[in-house]
Amino acid sequence: MARYDIVIIGGAIVGSSVAYYLREQGFTGTIAVIERDPQFTRSATTLSLASIRQQFSIPENIRLSQFTLGLFRRLKEEFGTEADIGFREGGYLILATPEGLPVLAANHQVQQAEKADIVLENGEALSRRFPWLSTDGIAAGAYGRTGEGWFDAHAYLQLFRKALRGKAVEMVTASVAGIERQGSQVVAVTLDTGERLETGLVVNAAGPDGGRIAGMAGLVLPVEPRKRSVFVFEARERLADMPLLVDPSGIYVRPEGSVYLTGGAENEEGEEAADPMDFEPDWSQFEETIWPVLATRIPAFEAIKATRAWAGHYDYNTLDQNAVIGHHPDVSNFLFANGFSGHGLQQAPAVGNALAELIVHGAYRSIDCSAFGYERIAAGRPFRELNVI
């Protein structure tokens, strides 16, 4: 029977970053990362939109993204001269109607206090900056001049996975089938292979399956898979310096090389958990919801057609659409890194580092993540992020 000091469940971006930063923070014990799908064909990490922003409504989320941005800026120092994730600092442009303006302006103040390089501009200024944009019905937009953009999610994940090779981290290909507890401690993880791994500590990094994994330990975590479809289209005209645009309707679009990616047509009102096996994109969204919005907002997109689509699952926290980070208050050797609700790719290094600090030093040192703790979940007290894209 094997024994590891730490077992991390899920080996995509969050699980890999936790393992990476444990070693960076000087953890010398044994670590196993359990991953059932080592090609990551269905993980949120590789099915995401691979973008990073500063435009959040709460300071803690901005700080987590800024940590990752700092890593992007010194990627070669950290991972070697070959390291490249194709980071394009194209910015986000979040538009608001007159009704949405107070929230956009309040968020902008929070972002400015965190020194994020975001400008708030009225319709006229936006038309000058982006001549291809129709500002009909738009009161203002918040634009990230630097510090926001998109990158290659596969390359980013592989950087961490490769870096782990030299760090004595056991990569186990299997599905976690059960978690054993003795009173208020988890003591072992059982695998679908029949193997049983004894452990001193478990980190839940199972993405959209985080709620199910917590359930195996007898714990309640309001995180479930929510399906999100992304569409690829081509357009005759190339729009110079196009940022990732978020329309007031929630529809987003950004360039990706010679094509464009779009989505955001899901209606969260009354939405239920996705079937964990359903990765079929909802094609009707493109014609019925997305195209009419894009054709109005960007007249150059009047005659577009989706050529390809995919669907992934958000790791959706139904309480407040924010991450759950840190120890379970009663089962103290079960740690959460869950519930990112659509912004976990950009937060993963920061959260990996924060959890490593908590495990190795007993406290957060770089970014205080206590506000993301499980205590709010237990109390049913939301810590809400308003900018969920």
Ligand X SMILES: Cc1cc2nc3c(=O)[nH]c(=O)nc-3n(C[C@H](O)[C@H](O)[C@H](O)COP(=O)(O)OP(=O)(O)OC[C@H]3O[C@@H](n4cnc5c(N)ncnc54)[C@H](O)[C@@H]3O)c2cc1C
Query: Contact positions toward ligand X, by CB under 6 A?
Result: 9-10, 12-15, 34-37, 40, 43-45, 47-51, 175-176, 205-209, 228, 230, 312-315, 340, 342-346
Cα→Cα distances 184→3, 18, 162, 210, 218, Å: 19, 23, 35, 19, 10
Residues sharing a CB contact under 8 Å with residue 166, sequence separation 6 or more, in sequence order: none
- State the minimum distance, in angstroms, from the CB of residue 279 to ligand X: 10
Q: How far apart are CA 59 and CA 299, in angstroms?
A: 35
Kindly tell me which of 7 and 293 has the beta carbon lying closer to ligand X. 7
* Size of the chain, expressed as the number of residues it contains: 389
Kindly tell me which of 173 and 332 has the beta carbon lying closer to ligand X. 173
- State the minimum distance, in angstroms, from the CB of residue 243 to ligand X: 13
Kindly tell me which of 67 and 139 has the beta carbon lying closer to ligand X. 67
- The 8-class DSSP code of residue 190 comes to E
- State the minimum distance, in angstroms, from the CB of residue 351 to ligand X: 9
134 class by beta-carbon count within 10 Å (0-12 exposed, 13-18 middle, 19+ buried): middle
- State the minimum distance, in angstroms, from the CB of residue 173 to ligand X: 9
Between strands 244-246 and 324-327, the pairing is unpaired
- State the minimum distance, in angstroms, from the CB of residue 387 to ligand X: 12
- Residue-by-residue DSSP string for 143-202: EESSS-EE--HHHHHHHHHHHHHTTTEEEEES-EEEEEEETTEEEEEEETTS-EEEEEEE
Reported as type and span, the H/E element at residue 215 is helix 210-216
Kindly tell me which of 105 and 196 has the beta carbon lying closer to ligand X. 196
Kindly tell me which of 209 and 357 has the beta carbon lying closer to ligand X. 209
Kindly tell me which of 101 and 174 has the beta carbon lying closer to ligand X. 174
Reported as type and span, the H/E element at residue 216 is helix 210-216
Kindly tell me which of 139 and 142 has the beta carbon lying closer to ligand X. 142
- State the minimum distance, in angstroms, from the CB of residue 165 to ligand X: 18
- State the minimum distance, in angstroms, from the CB of residue 98 to ligand X: 28
Q: What distance lies between CA 213 and its chain's CA centroid? A: 18
